[in-house]
Amino acid sequence: MSAAAIETSLEAQRRELAKLIAQIAREDGIHESAIADLVLFRASEPSPITHCLYRPALCVMAQGQKVVRLEEECFVYDPLHYLVASVTLPVTGEVTQASNAAPYLSLRLDLDPLELGELISSAGPIAVTKRSSGRGLHVDRMDQPLLDALIRLLRLLDTPRDIPMLAPLIRREILYRLLCSPQGQLLRDIATADSQAHRVNRAIEWLNLNYHKPLRIDDLAREANLSTSTLHHRFKAVTAMSPLQYQKQLRLQEARRLMLCEHLDVSSAGYRVGYESPSQFSREYSRLFGAPPIRDLARLRETG
């Protein structure tokens, strides 16, 4: 098939995917679906920069554009590109293209490393088409087979009785295609027991459960079964930050949520996430979010 024919086919598939998402996501916001781990999104205008935590997932755009930043790195995805988070990462996200006439329409399919590991075991050796960058977040170009599988998955929402039988099969196909993708090596490494990437992911998950506790790098290295130097090197390669920087972002994002959603005062929120010094908490909060806690919360409530 010629390049022009492939582009024409991809555009037809994109339009169908957008139509399927719009049928479910009729209003702006986040929409859970009847298929486990599949969430749909719609927005009719660009969004401000939002701090959030990306869990392992496949993110696909049917219409619009979004920019995701991991520390100093910028990842742009649109209908021609999909984004994969291989590990849990604190990021910022911003919808940059959306309007009433052409709303931002996207989906997220959560990924389970255990499920990936089982698929790798049954599939056997998978050819590597390109060496992975090693980063836990990446963007790849969309192709017809992956887009076709996603369309078939969303079509099941019109026939709920077929979901229990067919959704797991299509999901398995989607995971297989991700493992075979140019950046699929990191997904395979994380899902493979005793690989360095798998051990780094253990450290990441430990930090997500224990971010409020004092961080001792030697203890974290033992948890991951890596030397301290290897942990530092591999952790930064995957997350673009050190374990201490990662923990700090987890703490500050959770403190912001506690103040905004559970109405904790500044001192209580800082203490809850592990800060003993209110001045240090306020200083680091301002550095991440651009304003002290009280002013930042007032701004969020005003715009929200």
Q: Which pLDDT does position 6 carry in this prediction?
A: 74
Domain map of the chain by residue range? 3-187, 193-304
pLDDT digits (tens, 9 = 90+) for 118-177: 888 887 766 655 556 689 999 999 999 999 999 999 999 999 999 999 999 999 999 999
Q: Which pLDDT does position 127 carry in this prediction?
A: 62
Pick the CATH number of 3-187 from 3.40.1710, 2.60.120, 2.20.28, 1.25.40: 2.60.120
- Is the pLDDT reported for residue 94 higher than 60? yes
Q: Which pLDDT does position 274 carry in this prediction?
A: 96
Average the pLDDT over 184-213 and give the result. 90
Which of the four pLDDT bands, split at 50, 70 and 90, describes residue 69? very high
Say which CATH architecture domain 193-304 belongs to: Orthogonal Bundle (1.10)
Q: Which amino acid is at 153?
A: L
- Is the pLDDT reported for residue 80 higher than 80? yes
Q: Which pLDDT does position 236 carry in this prediction?
A: 96
Return d(Cα 133, Cα 86) in angstroms, integer: 12
Average pLDDT, the chain: 92
Return d(Cα 234, Cα 150) in angstroms, integer: 32
Which of the four pLDDT bands, split at 50, 70 and 90, describes residue 5? confident
**CB neighbour list of residue 107: distance below 8 Å, 6 or more residues apart:** 21, 38, 39, 40, 41, 59, 60, 62, 150, 154
Q: Which pLDDT does position 188 carry in this prediction?
A: 86
pLDDT digits (tens, 9 = 90+) for 211-242: 999 999 999 999 999 999 999 999 999 999 99
